[in-house]
Amino acid sequence: MERDVISALGQELGRELDSVQGAQAGTGRARSAFVLGTPSRFRRKSKLAPRAYAAGATMLVAAAIVLVAWIHSLSAQSRQPAPPSPLTFTIASDTTNANRIDGASGALLVATSELPLSFSDGTRLLLEKEARARVTDVDHLGARVILESGKLHASVIHTGTARWNVDAGPFEIHVTGTKFVVAWDPSAQAIDVTLEEGSVLVSGCAQNPARTVRGGESLHVQCATTPTPTPTPTSTSTSTSTPTSTSTSTPTSTSTSTSTPTLAPSPPPKVDEVSVDDLFSQADEARYAGHLDEAKTALLSVRRRAPGTEKSASAAFQLGRLAFDGKGDYPQAALWFDTYLHERPQGTLAREALGRSMEAQDRAGDAELAQRAARTYLARYPSGPHAALAHRLAGAQKGDAP
């Protein structure tokens, strides 16, 4: 199976390479040179070797020796090229950005109200009220944000080389350029990542191997069985001049237990004892772990506990996915996707639900319903991700008609 995955990956990359090549590969210079009989540059380079390369290499080595000796002979303030400057950031006392101070790497930031951070590369962070975080490892490519608790909004500028990470308990979020919100509840060991744009890679705890979350997606994971130490602000962090590191940033009682986990392992709560949000988290966790029946139980409980709500409709969609992807129960999947469409005809998942319903009907062998869904899909989403399938289904049925 591993080899099949690599084969398929190679083929997919090959298709993408074709599109890049089609747009970029030039042959005009090679054509002119060949037609006119110009000597090959490739060959000119070949004729240099090995003697010219050897001479060049010798000169290079000699130059390197001279350079090393020269560098050693210079003092600390000599003319060595300066390393790239690390990013800087400022912290505003409120969202009006009126009063700003320079941020300090490693300092504990405790948001007594919304706390905006602005970085010199254009990246913006916003700590929601009561969130606690530190910005560390700041270099010219990015920084590491340790979210100790609460909610963080991030808008990371994509530069091609940007390197940002958000640590939240046992989880690590690898970011290149994107907009997202991450909420971390250390007492429940629960993380919630919502992507507005781009994608991030979430790893750690139950997300092993790492999982990608893309624009428009949310990830809720609870890591109840692998407790980690509660973040412990140190005395140095409280003495920094951050605008909010005042009374609320005083080390708590947990600050003394710097090396001992303070959370005892606890079994996941039973379905009837937890909130609807927690049920979604449980369902996600169970689904990622392959425990499909547990995921289904949690989602059904959402529908029982919060009928008529957005979450109930989302649970219907997720139940459709479980039936489709997990069990191959296509009639059941179509039923759940249609349930979502019935409850949220204009919902954010409506396009996907309609496409999935069409695909499920097709796989279930119900050509008439599949055709009907295909026509509806094409009318509403002519360039949607299921459009190709919809065209095929609609066209096939048309052709079959007497």
Partner 1 sequence: MRPLPRRTWTDAEIVALLRTGVPDGRAVFFDHFAPRISKLVWSVLGPEPEAEDVLHEIFVRALERIDTLSDAERLGSWIAGIAVFTSREWLRRRARWRWLRILTDDVDAPAPAVNHEISEALRAAFQVLGTMVADERIAFSLRFLEGMELQEIALAEGTSLSTVKRRLKDAQQHFSARARKHAALVPWLERQEARAHTGREEPWSET
Site for partner 1 in 347-376 (CB under 8 A): 349, 352, 355-356, 359
Which of 129, 140, 214, 392 touches partner 1 by CB under 8 A?
214
Task: Decide: is 345 part of the binding site for partner 1 (CB under 8 A).
Answer: no
The answer to whether the beta carbons of residues 165 and 188 sit under 8 Å apart is: no
CB of 237 to partner 1, least distance (A): 30
Give the separation between CA 280 and CA 266, rounded to whole angstroms.
19
Contacts of 143 (CB under 8 A, 6+ apart): 87, 89, 105, 119, 135, 136, 137, 164, 165
Q: Which of residues 56-85 bind partner 1 (CB under 8 A)?
A: 57, 60
Rounded to whole angstroms, what are the CA distances from 28 to 5, 31, 33, 117?
Answer: 37, 5, 9, 50
Task: Decide: is 55 part of the binding site for partner 1 (CB under 8 A).
Answer: no
CB of 371 to partner 1, least distance (A): 19
Q: Which residue has the tokens 């094409």?
A: 378
Which of 6, 55, 59, 74 touches partner 1 by CB under 8 A?
6
The answer to whether the beta carbons of residues 184 and 175 sit under 8 Å apart is: no
Task: Decide: is 42 part of the binding site for partner 1 (CB under 8 A).
Answer: yes
Return the number of the residue (114 or 172) whose C-beta is nearest partner 1: 172
Binding residues for partner 1, rule CB under 8 A, total 72
Q: Which of residues 255-314 bind partner 1 (CB under 8 A)?
A: 314
Q: Which of residues 7-36 bind partner 1 (CB under 8 A)?
A: 7-14, 16-21, 23-27, 29-31, 33-35
Q: What are 94-101's contacts with CB under 8 Å, separation 24+?
A: 95/126, 99/243, 101/241, 101/242, 101/243
Q: Which of residues 156-195 bind partner 1 (CB under 8 A)?
A: 158, 160, 174, 176-177
Task: Decide: is 317 part of the binding site for partner 1 (CB under 8 A).
Answer: yes
CB of 22 to partner 1, least distance (A): 9
Which of 97, 99, 120, 212 touches partner 1 by CB under 8 A?
212
CB of 5 to partner 1, least distance (A): 5
Dmax (CA) for the chain in angstroms is: 91
Q: Which of 132, 156, 152 is nearest to 142 (CA)?
A: 156
Residues in the chain: 402
Cis before 83 (ω within 30) = no
Return the number of the residue (101 or 289) whose C-beta is nearest partner 1: 289
Q: Which of residues 139-158 bind partner 1 (CB under 8 A)?
A: 158
Q: Which of residues 103-132 bind partner 1 (CB under 8 A)?
A: none
Taking residues 216 to 245 in sequence order and writing x for each that binds partner 1 by CB under 8 A, - otherwise, the string is: xxxx--------------------------
HSE of 189 in the Cβ direction (CA atoms, 13 Å)?
24
Q: Which two tokens stand for residue 293?
A: 């029946």
Indicate the residue type of 231. Answer: P
Return the number of the residue (59 or 101) whose C-beta is nearest partner 1: 59
* CB atoms closer than 10 angstroms to residue 386: 21
Which of 49, 55, 68, 71 touches partner 1 by CB under 8 A?
49
Among the listed ranges 72-80, 209-217, 221-229, 232-240, the one in contact with partner 1 (CB under 8 A) is 209-217
Return the number of the residue (14 or 402) whose C-beta is nearest partner 1: 14
Q: Is the dihedral of CA 345, 347, 348, 352 positive or negative?
A: negative
Return the number of the residue (114 or 329) whose C-beta is nearest partner 1: 329
Indicate the residue type of 357. Answer: S
Give the separation between CA 145 and CA 122, rounded to whole angstroms.
16
